[in-house]
Amino acid sequence: MNGTKKGLLFVILAQIIWGIMPIYWKYTVFVNSIAMIAHRIVWSFVFMLLLLVVIRQWRTFLARLKEPAQLRFSVPGAVMIVLNWFIYVYAIQKGEILQTTLGYYVCPLILAFIGWTFFGEKPRKAQYVAVVLSTIGVVLQTLAIDKIPYYAFAVALTFATYSAIKKSTPYDSVFSMGYETFFLLPLALMTLFFARTGNWELTKEVSTSTYLILVLAGPMTVLPLLLHAHGLRAAPLSVTAFIQYLSPTMAMFLGILVYGEVFDTQRLVAFSFSWLALIIFAVDQWRYLKRVSQQTDN
């Protein structure tokens, strides 16, 4: 399996994990949303630290902490990912769930544009068709919401920017993710301190064993981000962009089939454009990789 195929596989695995994560967020509603983000950061850092110890790279991690290049990529990456998390949570608290779904359908379009504009990636004809169909789907979803989707575009822009930073970073994805969680750690610890002393961390009383499930927020946050970052380094950004329709689509089906959320005809038509775009893109990409593989074998 060549580097591009491995990169695509990693991105797909990340999307699958993100697609089923709403089950975890539904279970942990006993934690205040802002405190939950702080827990994600703290336990993500702990998980990253353990990972660095296991692979015997923690000394190198500490040695590179003051390198200018590391700061130049890791600090913006940390800012973008925590902004993405906070905007997402704030939108959910404001009852703008539809906007957050729309945001992750806008994100691939922004990623494709970034890949073509800033990374010199050349789109094929099928990719142009996929972008047009995706754009129509996004416009229809925006009309269904019947308001300017500020939260959607904010969610999409922050995650697309984060992905572009991860694409550019010269550091291994384990190191870069470790630095990002390290820089966010003081903010997370302060948040949890005020949440605990202010008595607003938990929305209801739970058992100790139930509370300890928050530790899972670490690996559940880090693993897909590591897969996503590693995949982005090996595959074109405009290619991985369309794979990112997978997780919101999975989450949507989870909401409909498991949690009974309403899915009307207008949204079905809007999503159909995005799904059609994804099918066209996937078939074109499969044919392209097959052709490249045959040329390599010859």
**SS3 state of residue 202:** strand
Which tokens belong to 70? 């590391």
What's the pLDDT at 1?
Answer: 57
Q: What's the burial of 56, exposed, middle or buried (CB within 10 Å: 0-12/13-18/19+)? A: exposed
Condensed to tens digits (0 to 9), the pLDDT of residues 4-62 reads: 778 888 889 998 998 888 888 888 889 998 899 999 999 999 999 999 999 888 888 88
DSSP reduced 3-state for 125: helix
Structural domains counted in the chain: 1
Mean pLDDT of the chain: 84
Write out the residue range of the structural domain in which residue 121 sits.
Answer: 3-297
pLDDT at 134 over 90: no
